[in-house]
Amino acid sequence: MTSVFSFRPECFNNNGDQGNIEALEHFTGSKFTTAEIVGADFVLFGDASRAAMREFHEELETFVSPLERRLKEGSPTLLVGSSYEFFASRIKGIPDLKFGDRVSEFRTAKSSGFEVKGYRNSEVLDGDLFISGMFIGTTLFGPVLAKNLDLTEAVAKSLGLDISISADERNWIEKL
Q: How confident is the model at residue 169 (pLDDT cuts 50, 70, 90)?
A: confident
- Tell me the sheet residues that pair with 121: 104
**Shortest CA distance to 3 belongs to which of 82, 24, 91?**
24
Strands (E), 8-154: 33-34, 42-45, 77-80, 98-111, 114-126, 129-132, 135-138
Question: Across the chain, what does the average pLDDT equal?
Answer: 94
Predicted local distance difference test score (pLDDT) of residue 141: 86
Show me where the domains of the chain are located: 3-175
**CATH code of domain 3-175:** 3.40.50
Distance between CA 120 and CA 140 in Å, rounded?
5
- pLDDT mean over 139-162: 94
Tell me: the pLDDT tens digits for 95-105? 999 999 999 99
Q: How confident is the model at residue 176 (pLDDT cuts 50, 70, 90)?
A: low
Tell me: the pLDDT tens digits for 46-60? 999 999 999 999 999
| Cβ-proximal residues to 98 (8 Å cutoff; 6+ apart), any chain | 124, 125, 126, 127
- Put simply, whether the predicted model's pTM sits higher than 0.85 gets the answer yes
Distance between CA 161 and CA 164 in Å, rounded?
10
- pLDDT mean over 67-77: 98
The total number of residues written for the chain in this structure: 176
- Cα separation values, 50 from 32, 42, 56, 81, Å: 29, 25, 10, 11
